[in-house]
A and B are shown apart, each in its own frame.
Chain A
Amino acid sequence: MKYAFRTAAGALLAAGVLSTGTAWGQAAPAPALAPAPAPAATAAPASTATEASRREARALGEKLGWEAQVRGIINSVRTAVIVNLAQANQKTPQDMIGVVDDLLMPDFVGEAGSLTETIIETWAGAFTADELRNLRSFYNTPLGDKLLRTIPQLNVQINKAGQVWTQRVYQATQQKHADEFTRRGLKFAQ
């Protein structure tokens, strides 16, 4: 059995934790294709953000690359919309590219700024202006910069390490208990 167990979110572990925000946009949001009311998404409490904290959050976001992450989200949404529309209309994804790119994507690109602002507002409400300034100072140090550069490969390596370990332990356990499984009339998933 192939245990590609889902470490994508979990194996942020170090990565997500270390990255302090690169997880924004890692999970591509799936668009609702059926007409649906907008969910009460972020049942956010009244924001404690101030103008100063918003300014600092924006500056931190530039350092952490939030705009690029929002573009990543939009690309993921594009793929999801193409696939879902193709399924809903019994067409190939290739057939859907034109209509999605011509009609729908410009709206997503045009609204990208509002998603970035939502992220900024969240951070501006969660941290004080001083804290955000200090975070930016940390990420501007050689170590902070190295951390940001290293996170993507660290994510991949940690994720792979978890998968490889699980696969190996599963196989070892399988071999060790093959007789017991057979005795109980069971089969291992391959």
Chain B
Amino acid sequence: MARAPFATLLAIALAATAAAAPALAPAFAQMPAIEENRREARLLADVLEIPREAEAMVARARLEMIDATMKSSDLAEEAAARIVDDIMMPNFRARLPELIAQLVEPIAVNFTYTDLRELRAFYASPLGRKLLRTLPVAQAQGAEAGLAWSRQVFQDSVDRHADELRARGLKF
């Protein structure tokens, strides 16, 4: 079931490469281009710390498996964790490189080789590195600010329209 989307993406990428290639270029020359893209995308992924993100994904999957095992087998958390760690996780960890490759694939197929090189150069520059450092903090602050804002506006709005809301039979 996993193959279809990637086959499709690959087909799209190959078609795009074909469209961009010089008219006389042999069709088989497209395959190395995809491989080059993958190599370059992997280098970009390292700059973007995608391997670390993949590990975090597996860690989240582990927690969900522990939870599911507790529920399905009526076990305490410690026992469920031991089973997941003994039986399930070795396979997940062994296949981590496969996950990283799958996460990198969309990057490889959506950008040209030159794009990928330029993106890596940008993210490796002092400004790019600062952006990568700052973004998680900015995202967290943005999410927090958005939550605080919506609470505040909601409360102000409810206070302002309290009579009308009560008249419509609503309670809070």
Query: Would A135 and B131 count as touching, CB distance under 8 A?
Result: yes
Complex contact A161–B106 (CB within 8 A) = yes
Residues of chain A whose beta carbon lies under 8 Å from any beta carbon of chain B: 1, 3, 5-7, 10-14, 16-18, 20-21, 23-25, 27, 29-36, 38-39, 41-42, 44, 73, 77, 81, 85, 88-89, 99, 103-104, 107-108, 111, 114-115, 118-119, 122-123, 126-127, 131, 134-135, 138, 143, 146-147, 150, 153-154, 157-158, 160-162, 164-170, 172-173, 176-177, 180-181, 184-190
Q: Is the CB of B155 within 8 A of A14?
A: no
**Segment from B18-26, B31-39, B114-122 that makes contact with A:** B114-122
21 residue pairs A–B, Cβ–Cβ below 8 Å: A10-B56, A12-B139, A14-B45, A14-B106, A25-B142, A29-B151, A32-B155, A73-B150, A103-B161, A108-B157, A118-B142, A122-B138, A146-B111, A147-B119, A164-B1, A165-B95, A166-B58, A168-B1, A173-B92, A189-B68, A189-B71
**Min CB distance, B141 to chain A, in Å?**
5
Query: Known: A127-B134, A146-B115, A164-B1. Contact between A32 and B171, CB under 8 A?
Result: no
Q: Are A29 and B143 in contact (CB under 8 A)?
A: yes
A24 to B146, CA, bound (A): 9
For B49, what are the chain A residues with a Cβ–Cβ distance below 8 Å? 13, 17
Q: B103–A143 contact, CB under 8 A?
A: no
Q: Tell me the bound Cα distance from A170 to B102 in angstroms.
A: 16
Question: Known: A14-B48, A157-B9. Contact between A166 and B146, CB under 8 A?
Answer: no
**Is the CB–CB distance between A173 and B164 below 8 Å?**
no
- B147 cross-chain contacts in A, Cβ below 8 A: 29-30, 39, 41
State the main secondary structure of chain A at its contact with B: helix
For residue B15, CB closer than 8 A to chain A, the reply is: no
Given A17-B48, A99-B165: A126 in contact with B155 (beta carbons within 8 A)? no
CB distance from A69 to the nearest CB of B (A): 9
Min Cβ gap A179→B in Å is 11
For the complex, give the distance between the alpha carbons of A153 and B138 in Å. 22
A14-B48, A135-B127, A143-B119 known; A108+B143 contact, CB < 8 A: no
In the complex, what residues of A have CB within 8 A of residue B164's CB? 103
- CB contact between B57 and one of A138, A154, A166 (< 8 Å): that residue: A166
Q: Name the B residues within 8 Å of A32 (CB-CB).
A: 151, 154-155
The 10 A-B residue pairs whose C-beta atoms are closest, nearest first, are: A41-B148, A189-B68, A157-B106, A13-B53, A107-B157, A29-B147, A189-B72, A164-B2, A29-B146, A31-B154
Q: Which residue of A lies closest to B133 (CB)?
A: A126
- Contact A42 B144, CB 8 Å, known A14-B103, A31-B151, A173-B91: yes
Assess the A33–B172 pair: CB atoms within 8 A: yes
A187-B73 contact given A41-B148, A104-B158, A154-B107, CB 8 Å threshold: yes
Residue of B nearest to A115 (CB): B149
Q: Which residue of the partner chain B has the closest CB to A108?
A: B153
* Chain A contacts for B165, CB-based, 8 A: 99, 103
Q: Does B98 contact A (CB under 8 A)?
A: yes
* Cβ-defined contact, A104 with B154, below 8 A: yes
Per-residue CB contact flags for chain B residues 121-145 toward chain A (1 = under 8 Å, else 0) read: 0100001001110110111011111
Which one of B53, B65, B150, B154 contacts A170 once the chains associate, using CB atoms below 8 Å? B65
